[in-house]
Structure 1
């Protein structure tokens, strides 16, 4: 006859031990992640991901207890974008965790939002393209303040203009304009979306002093989007008559 009391106690103890072991493991992984990110040790980061194997997706998602040094709800893709990881690392992480590009952090921002915010200081247009290729819908998603990635890119121009990076200002400006071009052409509809104050990306660009080439591109794409919307509306009304 099985001693149920002994069995229950034994099972409970093993369960607590197992849970404690998992928590300890998560803390160690979290510390390793922080070390890799803060030191930009991308080789060590890839080794860490390899060691996680099939559990990498769950361990590094926004639902995990990992500490990426960012706001709650962030995942590993948010983190590598925030820490300006090289495009090769971004592509590798996206292969391991392809579904995380759609996740939002506590500011309702996707990894694309985070990458675009860093576009004035390091994130390359190639990184923006890689994120868009995984989750194109992110280009039209709005954060807590109603900001799309395109609006953030346009607003970043003020950071460049009022920064002390005079020597690098030209390259940062070129990178931002290239990012604006990628976003505008990848998701034209994002140009006519309004933020919580009723401003579109074109208005953000005007206020922030986006260079003429970028501003004219936004105007042209905006005009095309509105023209197509008007034509579709006219066509629908004609069919109803």
Structure 2
């Protein structure tokens, strides 16, 4: 009886070896079924993970486009500019270089560069991983004037308001290369400097448009730009006849320098305001079309007391009691409430970090104005 230990579903007696085989067969089928399901699940997860990675990996500039530029196959380059999706022109390569960087590096024909800028003008302001714009490359590689001019026309601020990781703007790169030559020739005579081809190339950074009568003079444009330290004093000497000339808004170079505390500081020993007043102190008496003097403009912009505001106040001492003709605020309140205007301009120029201390510096201005004329508080009661 020990050899018979069970009965199957049909009523037949089943021996222990037969039961063992049945149990093993059931376990094997269960194992293989579970293994198959687990393998399918892992494969499905891998596929989903791969799809997810493809969606998160950023698209890059294709190697075919880069190779066409490197090999100077300009007909092929022209075809992908005209027929491919325009958004693909904005794609960077692995190092952040755009198609415009490569075109400046391999000296693409000016017509092709202008066509890219016509479709994607924002590429002129797109930096690579090192903070370099296409204009940085064009200046370093001594690109033709028309190439540099086209990049500047797309965005003139790229000349002075964008810096690479080493702190160089395109203008400062160009100035550092030629400054000794400029200064040597200037001492020989201003006319020799103005006739110099390299000087005309420098002025192009401030006047990219040719034969544009509405464009500001180089001195007006430089007053509103962050210049290499020694450049602005030289421009004052070369363009002394422009010190009293007003632009279309009625502002002379002094007014313009008073409107931006960051560009005002971009000189060596004196600020731009102090340099301009040294050459022509009477310019402080001029008003723009809104009836504002340079002192009023400087108050709203947040010019610090020791960065030119003191000199403006000494030249126009009556300013502490004259309300601003635009906001009708007394001067001390104009200095205190100009923060919103300054931060708006900072965001436009991407210089918010450079203006962090303006609010603290305005406290000294408020104190000195109230100390000079305490009675102005009575006006607002």
Structure 1 length-normalised TM? 0.60
Matches within 5 A, 1:154-233: 154-157=175-178, 174=197, 176-185=198-207, 187-189=221-223, 193-194=227-228, 199-201=229-231, 219-220=238-239, 224=243, 227-228=254-255, 229=257, 230=273, 231=284, 233=294
Using the alignment, how far apart are the partners of 1:9 and 1:218 within structure 2?
Answer: 75
Structure 1 segments unaligned to the other structure (5+ residues): 161-172, 204-214
1:40 lines up with 2:72 in the alignment: yes
SS in 2 for 1:88: helix
SS in 2 for 1:185: coil
| Aligned-pair Cα RMSD in Å | 4.1
Aligned counterpart, 2:165: 144
1:115 lines up with 2:138 in the alignment: yes
Q: Which has the higher contact order (CA 8 A, sep 6+)?
A: 1
Using the alignment, how far apart are the partners of 1:10 and 1:147 within structure 2?
Answer: 51
SS in 1 for 2:123: helix
Aligned counterpart, 1:98: 121
1:79 lines up with 2:102 in the alignment: yes
Give aligned pairs, total. Answer: 195
- What stretches of structure 1 move > 6 A for 4+ residues in a row? 5-8, 17-20, 215-218
Aligned counterpart, 2:295: 234
SS in 2 for 1:90: helix
- Counterpart contact for 2:222–2:232, Cα < 8 Å: no
SS in 1 for 2:96: coil
**CA apart distance, 1:177:** 3.4
- Counterpart contact for 1:139–1:150, Cα < 8 Å: yes
- Counterpart contact for 1:37–1:83, Cα < 8 Å: yes
Using the alignment, how far apart are the partners of 1:114 and 1:190 within structure 2?
Answer: 24
Residue-by-residue CA offset, 1:25-83 (whole Å, 9 max, x unaligned): 968x21x233222222222112233453144145x24xxxx25xxxx222112221222
Aligned counterpart, 1:49: 81
Aligned counterpart, 2:147: 127
Aligned counterpart, 1:153: 174
Q: 1:112 to 1:9 in 2, by over 3 A?
A: same
**CA apart distance, 1:183:** 0.6
Aligned counterpart, 2:364: none
